[in-house]
Structure 1
Amino acid sequence: MSQVDFASKVGVSFHSVNRWENGRNRPIPLALKQIKKLLHNNIGEPGENLLTKYFSNQD
C-alpha cells in the first residue's frame, strides 16, 4: 500500500505519513486509533503482526 493510499484510509495527509515513516513525527492518538482499525479490519495476517508489535501494550 502506498503512503498516499494509507494516508487516505487513515484520514491524514500524505505528508503526515511520510513524516511518521521517516521518524520526524509520531501519529496523534486519533490517527493511531484509525491505524489500529485499518490494520485490524483490512490487512489480514501482516496487519495482525503489526498490531501485536505496536499496539499490544495499549487499550
Structure 2
Amino acid sequence: MELGNSLKIADLIREIRQQLDLSQKKFAANLGVSLRTVNRWENGSAVPSRMALKLIEEMLEKMGEPGKRLLSEYLSKAKQREDS
C-alpha cells in the first residue's frame, strides 16, 4: 500500500482503530509498535514505515467490506494526488 505524503494517514489510522474498536495501545500491540508510535501517526507527527503500512493493509483486508471501503477510499485518494 503506497500512500502519498499529502494523504491524511492520521485519518486512516484513526478510522481503522475505531472500526475495530481498539485503543491506541491495543492497535499498537497488534502491529508490534509502541503506543507512542501510533499516537504520533494519529497526530500527524510521523508516518508508518513501509512494513507497518503492509501490516495495516493486511488488517484492512481482514476487516471485510469496511476494510475494502477504507482501502479503496484511501488508495484512490493517494492515486489522485500522485496523478496531479
TM-score (norm 2): 0.59
Q: Percent identity?
A: 50
1:11 has 2:32 as partner: yes
Contact 1:19 1:25 in 2 (8 A): yes
1:39 to partner: Cα distance: 1.3
Please give the root-mean-square deviation of Cα atoms over the aligned residues, in Å.
Answer: 1.4
Q: Gapped runs of 5+ residues in structure 2?
A: 1-21, 80-84
Q: Gapped runs of 5+ residues in structure 1?
A: none
Which structure would you say has the larger RCO, counting Cα contacts within 8 Å and 6 or more residues apart? Answer: 2
Aligned to 1:54: 74
Once the two structures are superposed, what CA deviation does each residue of 1:3-32 show, in whole Å capped at 9, x if it has no partner? 111111111111111000000000000000
Q: Radius of gyration: which is bigger?
A: 2
Contact 1:10 1:38 in 2 (8 A): no
Q: How many residues align?
A: 56
1:26 has 2:18 as partner: no
